[in-house]
Amino acid sequence: MNRVKTAVLVSGGGTNLQALINEQQAGRLPHVEFVSVIASRPDAYALTRAQKAGIPGHVVARKGQSQEAFEQGILDLLEKDGVQLIILAGFMSILSASFVQRYPRRILNVHPALLPAFGGKGCYGLHVHEAALARGVKVTGATVHYVNEIADGGEIILQKAVAVEPGDTPETLQRRVMEQAEWRILPQAAELAAQEILEEK
Ligand code: GAR
């Protein structure tokens, strides 16, 4: 079967990467082929997950080099592997407009809130859940969207709502949003995006 060569970009624990791997192994991502995992930090546990799943892992460290050199390092890997779809799964570095413009409707991002709420500058990781609790929302969730040159501004593919419970901390809320939303909609969106790429050909 025709499959879309896909790279997953990560920075940390990689639980979203794990969700993708699990769905792949369960046969639910028939049009997605993971060809590489690229980490912006050498200590990202996501690299261990990739290794265990037999996916080639690479480090392109953000630290210690310019934005241009960092992005060129990623582009070189993507081009070498003929990557057609890029998934940002807990990737904590900003990509420039010139990078993003090279891959229109080809970069997916998972964000731990219902965009446009709790998006934009400084809203990443646990900060998103801190902001949601501080605002007192009763419902939050996750969004998977295409990335364009405006941060968190691309077309939304899937969203899923999650209840905020009394007594939630940023950590308990983060965990619920991951379990109930992110780990479900990211693989679904990856398969949808891959099917769309194959249909365009
Ligand atoms: C996830 O909650 C993801 O949505 C978030 O970081 C976490 C990474 O966890 N991403 C962002 O905040 C991007 N703006 P993981 O490494 O275990 O997948």
Write out the DSSP string of 98-127. Answer: HHHHTSTT-EEEEESS-TTTT-STT--THH
Enumerate residues lining ligand 1, CB below 6 A: 10, 12-16, 89-90, 110-112, 124-125, 128, 178, 182
Q: What is the pLDDT of residue 151?
A: 66
The CA 20 to ligand 1 mean position distance, Å, reads 13
- Look at residue 148 in the predicted model and tell me its pLDDT: 86
Task: Provide the annotated active-site residues.
Answer: 111
The atom number, within ligand 1, closest to the CA of 152 reads 14
Q: What is the pLDDT at residue 116?
A: 94
- Tell me what pLDDT residue 1 has: 65
Q: What is the CATH number of the domain that holds 89?
A: 3.40.50.170
88 alpha carbon – ligand 1 mean position (Å): 9
Radius of gyration of the chain (CA): 16
Q: Which atom of ligand 1 is nearest to the CA of 110?
A: 4
Which residue CA neighbors atom 12 of ligand 1 most closely? Answer: 124
pLDDT of 121: 85
pLDDT of residue 153: 74
Q: pTM score > 0.85 for this model?
A: yes
Residue nearest to atom 3 of ligand 1 (CA): 90
The full length of the chain comes to 201
- Tell which atom from ligand 1 comes closest to the C-alpha of 13: 16
pLDDT of residue 113: 98
Which residues, including other chains, have CB under 8 Å from residue 145's CB and lie 6 or more apart? Answer: 108, 109, 111, 115, 152, 154, 155, 156, 157
pLDDT for res 120: 87
User: What per-residue confidence (pLDDT) applies to 152?
Assistant: 66
Instruction: Please count the structural domains in the chain.
Output: 1
22, 47, 121, 128, best to mutate for ligand 1 pocket (most atoms within 8 Å of CB): 128
Residue-wise pLDDT tens for the chain (201 aa)?
Answer: 699 999 999 999 999 999 999 999 999 999 999 999 999 999 999 999 999 999 999 999 999 999 999 999 999 999 999 999 999 999 999 999 999 999 999 999 999 999 999 998 889 999 999 999 999 999 999 999 999 877 667 899 999 999 999 999 999 999 999 999 999 999 999 999 999 999 996
Q: Which domain range does residue 75 map to?
A: 4-200
Task: In the chain, count H helices and then E strands.
Answer: 7, 7
